[in-house]
Amino acid sequence: MENSFPLIGDKFPSLKVNTTRGPLSLPEDMAGKWFVLFSHPADFTPVCTTEFVAFQKRYAEFKAMNCELVGLSIDQVFSHIKWTQWIKENLGVEIEFPIIADDRGEVAAKLGMVHPGKGNNTVRAVFIVDSEGYTRIMLYYPQELGRNIDEILRALKGMQTSDQHGVAIPAGWPNNELIKDRVIIPPAADVKAAETRMQEHEGYDWWFCHRAL
């Protein structure tokens, strides 16, 4: 199975898929919205179950940022349906976002979600795609490590903040050790701007200035 994936900044590849919520065309059906496409190794597995519950419990936060969630694994749609029914009946959580049934593995191969060194199931891949259909963030985790959904929310908020204000986002934002919830101003592009930068902005040097939002 060939493994490839879109690079950051690439247009997300066009996909026509079947999901637990009906047919879906990506990124076309998400036009004007951000979306997070994430793969999991298999239905009816414990780590994946904890992730789906965590995603669902934060679904309203994603939607508040104009972002949809889409799950995926190499399982048939009836397996997805039965698994989500089990989650609702036994854990009291209804999974409201669609899950792609990639039983032939075609989507997983197109997005580089199957890593032969980790077996034949999908690893835990995450693609964050913007409202124009461009790939902005990619994350890959092995099957044995569950993802931190709060970090995915933070990454989404950080990218949207960067786009809106033309700034860069520091480590751990909005709880950075150096500048707390402030954001980084892009470095000066020429000598004249570098000479005046520290007069115009707060910072450690002309190449490291920051401001409040």
Catalytic residue annotation: 48
In whole angstroms, give the CA distance from residue 144 to residue 132: 33
Which residues, in sequence order, are CB contacts of 103 under 8 Å at separation 6+?
74, 75, 76, 77
Taking the C-alpha atoms of residue 12 and residue 141, their distance in angstroms, rounded to an integer, is 20
Residue pair 41/79 in contact (Cβ under 8 Å)? The answer is no
Taking CA atoms, 39 is separated from 70, 71, 72, 104, 185, in Å, by 9, 6, 5, 14, 34
Q: Which residues pair with 36 in a beta bridge?
A: 69, 128
What φ, ψ does residue 136 adopt, rounded to 5°? -110, -35
User: Nearest Cα to 124, choosing from 44, 42, 8?
Assistant: 42
Strands (E), 2-112: 15-19, 22-26, 34-39, 67-73, 99-101
